[in-house]
Structure 1
Amino acid sequence: MTATSERVTETPVNPFVETEERAALRASVAALGKRYGQQYFMECARTGKKTDELWAEAGKLGFLGVNLPEEYGGGGAGIYELAIVMEELAANGVGLLMMVVSPAICGNIIARFGTDDQKQQWLPGLSDGSVTMAFGITEPEAGSNSHQITTTARRDGDDWLLTGRKVWISGVDQAQAVLIVARTEDAKTGKLKPALFIVPTDTPNFEYKQIDMELINPEKQFQLFLDDVRLPSTALVGSADAALGQLFAGLNPERIMAAASALGMARFALDKAVDYVKNRTVWKTPIGAHQAIAHPLAQGKIEMEMAKLMMQKAATMYDAGDDWGAAEPANMSKYAAAEACVKIVDQAVQSMGGNGLSSEYGIAPLLNLCRVARVAPVSREMVLNFVAQTSLGLPKSY
């Protein structure tokens, strides 16, 4: 099965069991991920290469654009299916960070709010992987307070001029364009009313600089510098005064995909640990028989599966068109998946002892990567703020 199959429209008899189409997609992606494997991923990271071969093949098979409209080369399915792709690749040691950004955030926003010309120009490439698009919202001074972004878009005749700074922007060196969140010059209130612009990375006065990181990962982080970057009027996506609704079309999928990535990493670590403790025998008994080893791994499994259910709920609501309703489970799933991932990776190392830190078993690189899941794309503290204020109705703390 390829990801370019028709949109899943059947209603499962049991809503907690995936349809045959989704199960087949999961198996196909898992086979691709296994064929490349963590060794390929780590070699790319350590030698400065990109995972271009994997990205291109995933695009050719239709996996990268499974959520995008069929008329533009996508699979016509939804974020649920894209999360399957993300989870299965990560579970086989080849999680692709740019999937969170390019097809999930940028692809969804352009598919929903872009002009016909923008869709024709960008969606086919995003679908087949020949085009990659980064997403720029975070700024050095604003941090998590996106309401205070200062990157400004001002009119100059029919053109726009963008000026500002961005930070922690993923994969700019492998992207052909960046979807930049700016604010129009007359948006002087404290409320964020973003305007979204497609900025090709070769545009004059657009520069970027890599941020040095202690992460073993092929996909890098960057600072962006925009100094009167001139764009045609056709660069604007949607409304110049879009408010938060347009952003939710991209940020809910971002959280869902982040959850899928964390769940995949957790599965990778848990599988490695379980296989090890089943076979590692000390004092005539496999160490997995001891409750001190078995119970923490079992607890991790329980928490991982609960997070996955919340992720599936969020994806189902989003695909049904409920942007605002999907926000709560999307944030909750990201939080729960990150917490489960950190706990499982740590326990995997502990269960495997010194071998958990060896290169042979592939768990040690996840110690840093799993912590990213707690921090980005939204920190666990900001998720807790969201739940406290939105779900519980508590007063704002900021």
Structure 2
Amino acid sequence: MEFRESEEQRALRAAVAALAARYGHRYLVEKATAGQPTTELWTEAGKLGYLGVAVPTEYGGGGAGITELSIVCEELAAGGCPLLLLVVSPAIAATVIAKSGTDEQKRTWLPGFADGSLKMSFAITEPDAGSNFHRLTTTARRDGDGWRLSGSKVFISGVDESDATLVVARMEDTRTGKLQPALFVVPTDTPGMEFHPIPMALVSPERQFSVHFDEARLPSDALVGGEDAALAALFAGLNPERITVAAYCCGIGRYAVRKGIEYANSRSVWDTTLGAHQALAHPLARAHMEVDLARLAVSRAAWAYDQDDPTAGESANIAKYTAAESAFDAVNTAIQVHGGNGMTAEYGVGPLLGAVRAAQIAPVSREMILNFVAQHTLGLQRSY
């Protein structure tokens, strides 16, 4: 079994880490506080090829996989610049179109993903559906040679800075007459589409929105992959979403532990540094080990996905669970090491608390992951 990354992967990790170091966490907080997107960092990462590392080469991408995209997510976060839209746009939307899109959709959208000139948000969550996919009510009905889309979505990240939104809806199956899941690419300037910001406690440059579709008119080619794609198109993006969120969490965890270590080594009490006291040293050591174990889980999940291994779904869920839990513990520990300074913006750990707490809820809650493992791995009776 090989645990070492390839030379190319190590070079990618080092290059992305260097990019993140040039911007740093202060840049992210300043952007978030001002309500501005991280345009400069996103643009530079796109030009350097990091955002399109997993896009097929024939469309201008790097031709690598979710393993490499996870490296990008982790290293930006480890440098204090966690970008949620990396998960939404390159990991979900680009993967869905690359795997399930028509040839024309690939030609239209993938080059923009490859160079970072395109951002696409992802809209699945609805106000009354929660984690129950079967209760989604956003519906697309045929209208001549196109579609009419109606319904509402909530907690949709970065719609305001996206060129289009990948919307999960339901449409009528012409063979059975039943409603089946389908994905549609909806440009954000489509008439009949409105979005409004949701006030959040999170300190993040990516804002959250409620989105409403009122008979929004879509062309026939808005349907991703055609009528036969259905669930395959949706599931193409869900495991990459979990894996890259996990990588994002691992990066935040590494950043938090590093900040805790720096502070513990720089402050003295009773003629010793803070780090000499086991009450702080042990929690930092534990947080480091938990994050390191989560990184192994992410690597395994990304490998399984890239190899089309049947364990990819289980591994992706485990990686997401362990990474979110370890990141929360790491940030909480770093705050405690800093004492009151941990809750200030200046020291750079307090603002991360909301992000890691949200990662325990979305894109899939830890409770639903435990349900999945209990049912599919342990063979226990389904509880819901």
Quote the offset at 1:192 in angstroms.
7.9
Match of 2:343 in 1: 357
d(CA) in 1 for partners of 2:282 and 2:179? 46
- Do the aligned partners of 1:194 and 1:240 also contact (CA within 8 Å) in 2? no
Superposed CA RMSD: 1.6
CA distance 1:271–1:180, shift in 2 (3 Å) = same
Quote the offset at 1:300 in angstroms.
1.0
Match of 1:19 in 2: 6
- Do the aligned partners of 1:193 and 1:242 also contact (CA within 8 Å) in 2? no
Match of 1:205 in 2: 192
Match of 2:240 in 1: 253
1:104 counterpart (85, 91, 94):
91
Match of 1:387 in 2: 373
Quote the offset at 1:241 in angstroms.
4.8
CA distance 1:351–1:188, shift in 2 (3 Å) = farther
Matched, 1:32 2:33: no
Partner amino acid, structure 1, of 2:156: I
Match of 1:297 in 2: 284
d(CA) in 2 for partners of 1:272 and 1:284? 21
Matched, 1:312 2:299: yes
CA distance 1:204–1:309, shift in 2 (3 Å) = same
Match of 1:367 in 2: 353
2:328 counterpart (342, 359, 362):
342
**What does 1:53-64 align with in structure 2 at a 5 Å threshold?**
53-64=40-51
Cα deviation digits, residues 71-98 of structure 1 (max 9, x gap): 1111000000000000000111111110
**What does 1:1-398 align with in structure 2 at a 5 Å threshold?**
15-186=2-173, 193-322=180-309, 324-398=310-384
d(CA) in 2 for partners of 1:132 and 1:32? 20
Query: Could you tell me the TM-score, scaled by structure 2's length?
Result: 0.97
- Do the aligned partners of 1:91 and 1:264 also contact (CA within 8 Å) in 2? yes
Alignment gaps of 5+ in structure 1: 1-13
Q: Is the deviation greater in 257-266 or in 358-367?
A: 358-367
Number of equivalenced pairs: 383
Query: Secondary structure in 2 aligned to 1:99?
Result: helix
d(CA) in 2 for partners of 1:333 and 1:300? 16
d(CA) in 2 for partners of 1:377 and 1:278? 36
CA distance 1:193–1:309, shift in 2 (3 Å) = farther
d(CA) in 1 for partners of 2:360 and 2:19? 27
d(CA) in 2 for partners of 1:248 and 1:320? 16
Query: Secondary structure in 2 aligned to 1:109?
Result: helix
Match of 1:6 in 2: none
Cα deviation digits, residues 258-297 of structure 1 (max 9, x gap): 1011111111110000111122211111121222111111
d(CA) in 2 for partners of 1:64 and 1:356? 32
Partner amino acid, structure 1, of 2:82: G
- Do the aligned partners of 1:115 and 1:237 also contact (CA within 8 Å) in 2? yes
- Do the aligned partners of 1:146 and 1:192 also contact (CA within 8 Å) in 2? no
Partner amino acid, structure 2, of 1:71: E
- Do the aligned partners of 2:173 and 2:179 also contact (CA within 8 Å) in 1? no
CA distance 1:97–1:183, shift in 2 (3 Å) = same
d(CA) in 2 for partners of 1:39 and 1:188? 55
Query: Secondary structure in 1 aligned to 2:360?
Result: helix
- Do the aligned partners of 1:204 and 1:229 also contact (CA within 8 Å) in 2? yes
Quote the offset at 1:316 in angstroms.
0.5
Identity, in percent, stands at: 59
Query: Secondary structure in 2 aligned to 1:194?
Result: strand
Quote the offset at 1:363 in angstroms.
0.7
Quote the offset at 1:393 in angstroms.
1.2
d(CA) in 1 for partners of 2:361 and 2:27? 26
Quote the offset at 1:243 in angstroms.
4.4
Match of 1:5 in 2: none
Q: Is the deviation greater in 367-376 or in 25-34?
A: 367-376
Quote the offset at 1:239 in angstroms.
3.7
